[in-house]
Structure 1
Amino acid sequence: QLEKAALLAQVISHVKKLKRNAAEINKSCTIPSDADEVRVEVETIAGKLIVRASLCCDDRPEILADLRQTLSGLHLKPVRAEISTLGGRMKNVLMMTSEGNFSNLDKHLFVASVHQALNSVLDRVNSREDFLPRTSFANKRQRISPFASSSASS
């Protein structure tokens, strides 16, 4: 009985370790998910505020310009950007820095500002999609047959 309990404890410990490892890998993974998502994390290193922001959404050509325009108003210096696309989805992971002294309250307000800015980009992308024609292949041009007619003949 004691051996079974010890084995079960080892298995539980191993499963917890695997879950932590999977969460860590998923955190740094740049594969786009199926759901629209905005994440913002911040930490202070050597007096600099390091911001890691990610945006996952449908792949649209105007997103990069929107991101640049939106984030330029926050006075952040881009350090690194990772962009991945898969199946009509895209994920942008941005590392940025900001000089200055930030209290904990300032950090929370700053994170909220960055999060709100990225959500506004996501909202603009989604509002544009409402006016696009629906096709099964969103990234493909719609083909129109020269023989198709708008009226049916009887």
Structure 2
Amino acid sequence: MVRLKQLEQDIQQHLRRYRASISTIDFSFKSLKKVTKPKAEANIANAQKHKTAERHRRKRISRQFDMLRTILPNLIKMDKASVLGETVRQVRELKNRVKEMKGASNGSLECVLPGELNSLSFGFSEKDGNLVKATFSCDDRPELIADLTREIRKVSGTIVRAEMVFIGGRNKSVLWIKGFSGNERMGMLKRALKMAIDIPKKNWNPRFNI
């Protein structure tokens, strides 16, 4: 009888311990869920932000490549690798031209650097008298080449060569243009170029410095 009572007490004690263990496990599981859920939501939010930022970055790069496609002369292939390769080649060529012009002007860069005020002058190519040589300084802006090309095409002209220097938000350009002869045609070209270079620039960062 005593042993039976003792056995009953032992069973009751084990049941209490079991219930306590179950309660502890249940509490720990609920606490884990409370901690895990906000963390998972934060991870999802961070992943979404990263995805959005990456999408904006790709769009920005695509816009920059589109801009390069419009300003690079004699560009044949339009894929990104070709555009980037031609950009590097043009920059190197431009730097070499600056060195050559600096040497020819006894170390002075005044003749090749953009002026503080807008200016426009005309002449004829020494190698080809049928080409008009237009030299100008103006504010630099992303749409400059597109504006120049559009205005020159309006008066049936074609840019066959261009040299440009961009420094501190200013531009110095030399264009060789075909399709013009006579005072009347030259007057049309002058008005077309002034239309392009006198457009006010919007707020933006300069492209690059040499």
The TM-score by the shorter chain falls in which range? 0.5 to 0.7
1:36 to 104, 118, 121: 118
Letter in 1 for 2:119: E
Q: Which structure has greater strand proportion?
A: 1
Q: What's the offset of the Cα at 1:45?
A: 7.6
Highest CA radius of gyration, 1 or 2? 2
Q: What's the offset of the Cα at 1:52?
A: 0.6
Matched, 1:54 2:135: yes
Q: Distance in 2 between matches of 1:77 and 1:58?
A: 22
TM-score (norm 2): 0.40
Residue ranges of structure 1 left out of the alignment (5+ in a row) = 1-20, 133-137, 141-154
Q: Which structure has greater helix proportion?
A: 2
Q: Distance in 2 between matches of 1:91 and 1:57?
A: 7
Q: What's the offset of the Cα at 1:77?
A: 3.0
For residues 66-111 of structure 1, the C-alpha deviation after alignment (integer angstroms, 9 at most, x for no partner) is 0010111222232210011111101121002227xx5xxxx11122
SS at match of 1:34: coil
2:38 match: none
1:81 match: 162
Letter in 2 for 1:32: P
Q: Distance in 2 between matches of 1:59 and 1:89?
A: 5
Q: Distance in 2 between matches of 1:117 and 1:43?
A: 19
**CA contact under 8 A between 1:41 and 1:111: conserved in structure 2?**
no
TM-score (norm 1): 0.53
2:151 match: 70
Matched, 1:108 2:189: no
Q: What's the offset of the Cα at 1:120?
A: 1.0
Give the direction of change, closer, same or farther, for the CA distance of 1:26–1:108 in structure 2 (3 Å limit).
Answer: farther
**CA contact under 8 A between 2:131 and 2:177: conserved in structure 1?**
yes
Count residues with an aligned counterpart.
101
Give the direction of change, closer, same or farther, for the CA distance of 1:87–1:57 in structure 2 (3 Å limit).
Answer: same
For residues 15-66 of structure 1, the C-alpha deviation after alignment (integer angstroms, 9 at most, x for no partner) is xxxxxx96xx989x432111111112246987x6211112311111111110
2:47 match: none
Identical-pair percentage: 27
Matched, 1:139 2:205: yes
**CA contact under 8 A between 1:55 and 1:118: conserved in structure 2?**
no
**CA contact under 8 A between 1:33 and 1:56: conserved in structure 2?**
yes
Q: What's the offset of the Cα at 1:121?
A: 1.2
Give the direction of change, closer, same or farther, for the CA distance of 1:78–1:121 in structure 2 (3 Å limit).
Answer: closer
Q: CA RMSD in A?
A: 3.1
Letter in 2 for 1:74: V
SS at match of 1:110: helix
